[in-house]
Chain A
Amino acid sequence: MSPALSGFTRRAALAAALCALGVPAAARAQLTVQGRVTDEGGRPIAGVQITVEGTTVGTLAGDDGAYRLVVRDPRPPLVLLARLVGFRPVRDTIAETSGTVTHDFALRRDVLQLSQVVVTGTGVATERAKLGATLSTVGGEEIAEAATPQIDVALAGKVAGALVTPNSGTPGGGTSVRIRGLSTLSRSAEPLYVVDGVIVDNSSTQLVDLGGYSSNRLADLDPNDIDHIEVVKGAAAAALYGSRANNGVVQIFTKRGRAGASRYTLRQTVGMDDVERFVPVNRAPVNAAGEPVTRHDYQDDIFQTAAQYGTTLSLSGGDERTQYFLSGSLVDQEGVLRSTTYQRRNARVNVDRQLNDWLHLGVSTSYISSDANLTPNGGLVAQYGVLTSFLFMSNDRDLTRDPVTGEFPKGQALANPLEVIANWRAPQEVSRFIGGVQLRGTPGWGVTVDYRFGYDTYTETAGQFVPRNSSAAALAPGLAISASDRAKLLNSDLDVSHVYDATPAVRLTTSLGANWQRQQYDVVTARAEDLALLTPTVQGSRQFASEGRDDRRTLGFYAQEQVGVNDMLFLTAALRADAASAFGSEERTQYFPKFGASFDVSQLGWWQESLAGAVPRLRLRAALGYSGGQPAGSFDRFSNYVFEPSGSNAGAVNSTQQGNENLRPERQREIEVGADAEFLGGRLGIEATYFDKRISDLILPKTVRPSSGFLSQLANVGVLENAGLELLVRSVNVERAAWGWNSSVTVTTNDPVVTQVSDGGAFFIPESFNVIRVAADEPPGHFFGTTYVRDEQGRILDANDVPIQDANGDIVGIPAIGPRRIIGDPNPDLYWSVANDFRVGDALSFRVQVDGVQGLDVFNFDRRLLETPAFGSGAEYGRELTGEVPTGYFQARRSIFEEYIEDGSFVKLREVSASYTLPAGLARAVRASAATLTLAGRNLKTWTDYTGWDPETNVGAQRTLVRGFSFATTPIPRNVTLGVTLTF
């Protein structure tokens, strides 16, 4: 082998999914190594990657753990490296140089996965143990077992530091992910998602107003395609993602093909969704006038037990040079709210090709098409729809279709919810392509070159149809909307890294990179009112259309140096420079440094001698990093001129929002320190991290002197701080042939405070009913509203300062309305998750995951409407009708918002699953090589003091500051799914 080839980096071998050279050699020596890979219990492990260290020669172990590797011209010492996610890698030296050798590997579990190779945010593939910052990894199995069609939903509870909130039970997504709490006030707080090197869109564009509900585009991806996910929480992401890293980065890796015979996997699931609990309704037999009435619970007519089906077929295989993974899947879901449906079709083609002995090509493509029929609910802007209409009416009305006229009765204040279900339509469609190309070259001299090109494009269309003469009086002329969003995202990244062993003890790794990113959107909305009869398209006598385009570009460069000393101490320093079109011309280029240190104390000699028995591994780490958040609007820096007509002449005037050529990204400084320790011979691992974030230069509107002809300007004026503790405990409790038991616990604390706001004051969030506010020295997005008037003992007083409750605790008075003040905080203090995996023999396994979110308030606006006397469908209001509380009590109470702030803490039985692998004989009966049955439940039980439908839902959908606001949002369904997986 030439000297150039001998310089092949270890890194290339580590990072390559599979890089095999298997061309038959004619005259040279050839060594064949074969054997089995097993775990500590002696059970075979499939998919273990076995490579010759320092080369790209490698193979994967098959299902029975067997492998066979052919090495031409082996140069001693020949070191074979066996590695798999979740296990510690093993390096064994093979003495022979020719012939056939049998060598077995026994892998031990790596509870903290410190040996895992990660690529996100590091510039070059690196073992987790070398990083100063924490980076979490979730395996594809864990995602698939979660039994949900949405990847982000499946992440719930699986990543320390990440809070996953499904904002709505509407099928088709609508999920928020917050990593280490909020990092912004004005921008999206969702992390950046990267799939196979392609930066993908996860926007939550609300093309039509469905009462705050909107899907997030991550919902398009198929969880069955996931190999694993890396989650970078903060500072560590700075080098690669600079001004887009403030909310963290989630990198998703899809499955790749394996050399060998074609392997088909068919997975079929059948599931059932329903609503865990209804709100109690008014059962009083009389109305406010004392007349007898018949009461109904229309929740029975609004909600349904919904069916869902999922089919996935995948095919993988290839030879030693070319591997492929193909998959197709279909999801067909009904929503728990009648008339809502969701269908998604995914297709994926991933191909890897070893072009020559130093260049590897990886291609990932996927196409997604989805259709949903939704229905409006809630609404902080416009109120209409099913649950909203249910709240805004009395339940003594008969809503069913009149058998004589065939018409639905009109709604009370809004529509008739049953008519909305029957006649209103809100279809949504997505057609999306995501493609990525990766070229990795190892030309020698310790250099690795990695080029990635990513493209994500979709068209999302949304419509809304309210027929003419519907049951909503305010919408009598009808309404038809058709809106589309065409998105194009492109990224082009080049990384070059070089490894240099300065001395046998000191290794220097240098990385340089450049990134180019562009995001374009074009939203067109057409709307018609005064519709023709029986015509659901946008045709009517009043028509409106509008368009908004977006174009954003970012050019970034970085340099990183890592120094490794004795494989024990690792120091990393990096600098990222980002220039983006959204930054003001005066602030065009921004710099983000990061530093990290990792020290494996347990490798010290004295430790090995004295403490290694009790604590076989202890790593201390610290990191300091800066990252950024780009302005929310791509054109916020400009002073724009806007349309201003004069009579029938069209003119232009300066927008009263002044541009700002000094606008720069929001800047986050994050410090984290932590330790990773293993106990009990590596069977118990604890990863603990303290993080302290300070986000300055928050972009907020600021008052501009009004005599200048402007009113406001977006400027870098705010500061937000958050500090917390993140804990991950993993243990292998039992690992025997007969049974096994693993546990995993994550705990995160959160304490965000806004420390500085523009103009020294406080402001209300637009479209929040003037209830959600930001103020200096208070938590972001707290609830601010009217209060009870209380005496010194805390008793609620009436307008004459007399307690409203008598000595027996009965309510005898009408509460007085007190001044507005802070009444609640939707930011949780603590969130945690406990998961246990059990295995019985080789065939049967169980999983139970319980999630908890503690110390948050939810604004139960639903209850306020349910007990408002004008509507009064709620059970509480019945107490006034039956004379239990004085007349007028609820009319007064509805104006006291403090009453409706409830403790939203909850514990959910998030996942329960049982999986059974059929005996091989049975599998063969259906010509399968393996067959697995799975029964999974999701969100089966909620323990909470919250009185509404679900404390997790939010009418603000994925909005950054409108959190914990429950107003006619569809509850998260309880789900049971039965699945069968066949492998051929």
Chain B
Amino acid sequence: MPIDIPASARRSWRRAGHAASRAALLALALGAAACSLDVTNPNAATEEAVLSTPAGLKAVTIGLQGRVGNAIEEAVWIPGLVSGELGNTNASQSTQREFQDFPDATANAEIEETNPELLDLWAKWYEVVRSADDILNNADAVTLAPGTKSGMTALARTMKALAFGTLIESFEQIPLEPSQPNPAFSPRADVLARARELLAAARADLDAQAPSDEFTTTLLSPGLDLPSTIRALQARYALAAGDYEAALAFANEVPATASSLITYTSTDRNPLTGVFHELGYFAALQAFRTNAEAGDLRVDRYTTNETQSAFGGATLVGLAVYLDQTDPIELFRQDELTLIRAEAHARADRLPEARTALNAVRTANGLSEKDATDLPTQAAVLDEIYRQRTYSLYLTGLHWADERRFGRVDTEAKVAWLPYPLSERSTNTNVPENP
């Protein structure tokens, strides 16, 4: 360097220069080392983390039951409105009121494909299917205790069957392989057959390997009786498919004291408490009370005699169920099983056995027994079964299906089937014409 600079200054500058170069190199090296672009999401677990780990699949097992607990909401009130169990309390419920079976035909409106609650009904149950498939597709690849795995797969198959069985009572056809791209729609018979297959497989899971304590105490919702639920649903879908003897056999397998509940807490709230009481969207049609036999205990079990505001010419009264957000919802009621037995006998023309089962329901609900003079024919017995189902299965979402099975849908329900949601139609070319 030709510039004459004192040696000490040169050294200090060189040192400074070297230090700076080293600092720059270090910073670059650190930067390069930290240059990973694979950032995981700290706010939520990712699909990969959940589906490839035991803890993740167990969490999905719980989440699946949570989803069922929420999906029940629209599966109760939409069929309830369509079939004439419920009415809207307020005209401002502009989309909910599309489902209402108005006494006053002029107030009627079409159920639009864009209806958001229609989409909720569809989407929430398919979300149940997705969570069930998450378990079924990944359980083999993850290390699980045998009894835990059998419990999880049995639960997943049961809930998937419940989803298909619920959807097919509102929609004429539904996709059975929704994880496939552009899935085809299957007719009702195929859907019921698939639901029954799934339930049979769920039973087989439990028969082959009893569920572990881990499953029953930490994963299964308290109050949910899985074996009884499987059998009750087997009975329900056998009946829907017209396989009456099978329905009878399955119904007989459910213990008379069995109950199976979806439970709620103050944070995971009963969704029907919200729409029935907190928001107060829906109330019972007064006809439920006025058409009842005197002394029927079910009238006050489900409704009150307080008149509610109403939209569309109906008279509405209060609902007496799910008053508290922690009230559980039953996955099946014992009366349903008894009435399945009655109906199976009646369809096979075994009228005395049918009447015995019917009377068990009548007396349990504060009514007197009926004998052969009261119900002399198969038609009379079936009529009485329909009537008892109307009261015993109030707000289970099954009444609309019964209206179809007993040939009353044209006169007693708003429509036979719901239209398919527009979101499905715009993303799937296989959606059938709306019924």
Binding partners A and B: yes
Interface of A with B (CB < 8 Å)? 1-2, 23, 25-28, 72-73, 355-359, 361, 439, 451, 453, 492, 494, 516, 518, 547-549, 551-553, 555, 579-581, 588, 634-635, 638-642, 644-656, 659, 703-711, 759
**In the complex, which residues of chain A have a beta carbon less than 8 angstroms from the beta carbon of B47?**
638-641, 654, 659
CB proximity of B179 to chain A, nearest CB, Å: 7
Q: Across the interface, which residues of A come within 8 angstroms of B35, CB to CB?
A: 516, 553, 555
Question: Which chain A residue has the least Cβ–Cβ distance from B428?
Answer: A705
Instruction: Check if B362 is an interface residue, CB within 8 A of chain A.
Output: no
B265 touches A23 (CB 8 A): no
Task: Give every chain B residue within 8 A of A551 (Cβ-Cβ).
Answer: 39, 42
Measured CB to CB, the residues of B under 8 A from A are 1-5, 9, 13-14, 16-17, 20-21, 24, 27-28, 31-32, 34-39, 41-47, 49-50, 56, 59-67, 69, 119, 122-123, 126-127, 129-131, 133-134, 174-175, 178-179, 183, 218-219, 221-223, 262-265, 267-268, 421, 423-424, 426-428
28 interchain pairs, CB-CB under 8 A = A1-B3, A27-B4, A73-B2, A73-B3, A355-B13, A355-B20, A356-B14, A357-B1, A357-B3, A357-B13, A359-B21, A555-B35, A640-B45, A641-B49, A641-B63, A645-B66, A646-B65, A646-B221, A647-B223, A648-B263, A648-B265, A650-B59, A651-B65, A654-B47, A706-B423, A707-B175, A708-B126, A708-B179
CB-CB under 8 A from B426, the residues of chain A are 703, 759
User: Of B17, B39, B64, B423, which contacts A356 at CB under 8 A?
Assistant: B17
**Residues of B with C-beta under 8 A to A361:** 20
A709-B41 contact, Cβ under 8 Å, with A641-B56, A654-B134, A656-B123: no
Contact B221 A72 (CB under 8 A): no
Number of A-B residue pairs, CB cutoff 8 Å, is 210
Question: CA A27 – CA B2 in complex, angstroms?
Answer: 11
Return chain A residues, CB-CB under 8 Å to B126.
706-709
The reply to whether B39 and A654 contact each other, CB–CB distance below 8 Å, is no
Q: Which residue of A lies closest to B125 (CB)?
A: A707
Chain B nearest CB from A364 CB (Å) reads 16
In the assembled complex, how far is the CB of residue A797 from the closest CB belonging to chain B, in whole angstroms?
24
Is the Cβ of B268 less than 8 Å from the Cβ of A2?
Answer: no
> Closest residue to B57 on the A side, CB-wise?
A652
Q: Which residues of A contact B24 (CB under 8 A)?
A: 439, 451
Partner of A25, one of B4, B44, B66, B265: B4
Tell me if A647 and B3 are in contact (CB < 8 A). no
Q: How far is the CA of A709 from the CA of B131 in the complex (A)?
A: 8
User: Is A709 a contact of B20 with CB atoms below 8 Å?
Assistant: no
In Å, the complex CA distance between A654 and B262 comes to: 20
Task: Decide: A494 and B134 in contact? CB cutoff 8 A.
Answer: no
- Give the docked Cα–Cα distance between A704 and B428 (Å): 10
B134 A705 Cβ-Cβ under 8 A = no
Bound-state Cα–Cα, A79 to B91, Å: 86
Query: In the complex, what's the smallest C-beta–C-beta distance from A811 to chain B, in angstroms?
Result: 29
| A634 to B44 Cα, complex, angstroms | 12
Please determine whether B44 and A655 come into contact, CB atoms closer than 8 angstroms. yes
Residues of B within 8 A of A1 (CB): 2-3
Report A-chain residues with C-beta under 8 Å of the C-beta of B63. Answer: 641, 644, 646, 651-653
- Are B265's CB and A645's CB within 8 A? yes
Give the CA-CA distance A652 to B221 in the complex, in Å: 14
Q: For residue A703, which residues in chain B have a CB less than 8 angstroms away from its CB?
A: 423, 426-427
Out of A638, A656, A704, name the residue touching B427 (CB < 8 Å).
Answer: A704
Q: With contacts A23-B3, A705-B428, A707-B122 known, is A635 near B44, CB below 8 A?
A: yes
**Chain A residues within 8 Å of B122, by CB:** 706-707
User: Is B1 within 8 A of A2, CB to CB?
Assistant: yes
**Does B46 contact A549, Cβ atoms closer than 8 Å?**
no
Q: Check B421–A706 contact: CB distance below 8 A.
A: yes
CA distance A642 to B67 in the complex (A): 12
CA gap between A552 and B41 in the complex, in Å? 10
| A649 and B43 within 8 A (CB) | no
Q: Give the complex CA separation of A635 and B39 in angstroms.
A: 9
A173 to B408, CA, bound (A): 67
**A707 touching B42, Cβ below 8 Å:** no
Give 10 closest A-B pairs by Cβ, nearest first.
A709-B130, A651-B62, A651-B63, A653-B63, A640-B44, A705-B427, A646-B66, A644-B63, A646-B65, A652-B59
A492 to B222, CA, bound (A): 55
Q: Which residues of B contact A581 (CB under 8 A)?
A: 37-39
Do B3 and A516 touch across chains, with their CB atoms under 8 A apart? no
Complex CA distance for A552 and B39, rounded to whole angstroms: 7
Residue of A579, A645, A653 near B37 (CB, 8 A) is A579
B62 proximity list for chain A (CB < 8 A)? 644-646, 649-652
For B428, what are the chain A residues with a Cβ–Cβ distance below 8 Å?
705, 707
Q: Do B179 and A651 touch across chains, with their CB atoms under 8 A apart?
A: no
Q: How far is the CB of A100 from chain B (nearest CB, A)?
A: 21
Excluding A359-B17, A711-B423, 17 further A-B contacts by CB distance (< 8 Å) are A28-B4, A492-B27, A516-B35, A551-B39, A634-B39, A640-B43, A644-B63, A646-B221, A647-B221, A652-B45, A653-B66, A705-B424, A706-B122, A706-B421, A706-B424, A709-B129, A709-B131
- Point out the residue from A439, A644, A647, A649 that lies within 8 Å of B20, measured CB to CB: A439
Nearest CB of A to B77, in Å: 19
Q: Which residues from A are CB-within-8-Å of B174?
A: 707
Task: Indicate if the CB atoms of A549 and B43 lie closer than 8 Å.
Answer: yes
Tell me the bound Cα distance from A646 to B62 in angstroms: 6
Give Cα A963 to B63, complex, Å.
Answer: 40
Question: CB-CB < 8 A to A548: which residues of B?
Answer: 43
By beta carbon, the residue of chain B nearest A356 is B13
The answer to whether B60 and A588 touch across the interface, beta carbons within 8 angstroms, is: no
Q: Once the chains bind, are B65 and A639 in contact (CB under 8 Å)? A: no
Query: Are A647 and B268 in contact (CB-based, < 8 A)?
Result: yes
A403 to B183, CA, bound (A): 73
> Which residue from A25, A72, A639, A644 sits with its C-beta under 8 Å from B67?
A644
Nearest A residue to B261 via CB reads: A647
Q: Hey, which chain A residues are within 8 Å of B130, CB to CB?
A: 654, 708-710
* Interface contact A553-B27, CB-CB below 8 Å: no
Partner of B69, one of A646, A704, A710: A646
- CB pair A653 B46 closer than 8 Å: no
A555–B37 contact, CB under 8 A?
A: yes
How far is B267's CA from A650's CA once the two chains are assembled, in angstroms?
11
Nearest-Cβ distance from residue A26 to partner chain B, whole angstroms: 5
Q: Which residues of A contact B41 (CB under 8 A)?
A: 634-635, 638, 640
B27 & A709 in contact (Cβ 8 Å cutoff): no
- Measured between beta carbons, the chain B residues less than 8 angstroms from A451 are 24, 27-28
Asked if residues A635 and B43 are in contact (CB atoms below 8 Å), the reply is yes
Question: Which residue of chain A has the shortest Cβ distance to B175 in the bound complex?
Answer: A707
B14 to chain A, nearest CB (A): 7
Contact of A494 with B28 in the complex, beta carbons under 8 Å? yes
Measured between alpha carbons, how far is A759 from B427 in the docked complex, in Å?
9
Q: Specify which chain A residues have a CB less than 8 angstroms from the CB of B49 in the assembled complex.
A: 641
| Bound Cα distance A439, B18 (Å) | 12
Given contacts A648-B265, A649-B221, contact A359 B20 (CB under 8 A): yes
In the bound complex, how far is the Cα of B4 from the Cα of A26, in angstroms? 7
Q: Which residues of B contact A646 (CB under 8 A)?
A: 62-66, 69, 221, 262-263, 268
Which chain A residues lie closer than 8 Å to B3 at the CB level? 1, 23, 25, 28, 72-73, 357
In whole angstroms, what is the CA distance A494 to B42 when docked? 30
The minimal Cβ–Cβ distance linking A382 to chain B, given in whole angstroms, is 19
Whole-angstrom distance from the CB of B350 to the nearest CB of chain A? 41
Inter-chain CA distance A516–B28, complex, in Å, is: 9
Residues in chain B near residue A759, CB distance under 8 A: 426
B272 CB, nearest partner CB in chain A, Å: 15
B179 to A588, Cβ gap below 8 A? no
Instruction: List, in ascending order, chain B residues with CB within 8 A of A654's CB.
Output: 47, 127, 130-131, 134
CA distance A710 to B119 in the complex (A): 12
Q: How far is the CB of A485 from the nearest CB of chain B, in Å? A: 14
User: Considering the chains assembled together, what is the distance between the CA atoms of A937 and B28 in angstroms?
Assistant: 48
Contact (A647, B43) CB under 8 Å given A706-B119, A706-B123: no
Q: Given that A361-B20, A709-B131 are known contacts, is A649 also in contact with B219, CB under 8 Å in the complex? A: yes
Considering residues A356, A516, A635, A641, which has the most beta carbons from chain B within 10 angstroms of its beta carbon? A641
Q: Do B2 and A2 touch across chains, with their CB atoms under 8 A apart? A: yes
Residues of the A chain whose Cβ atoms lie less than 8 Å from the Cβ of B1: 2, 357
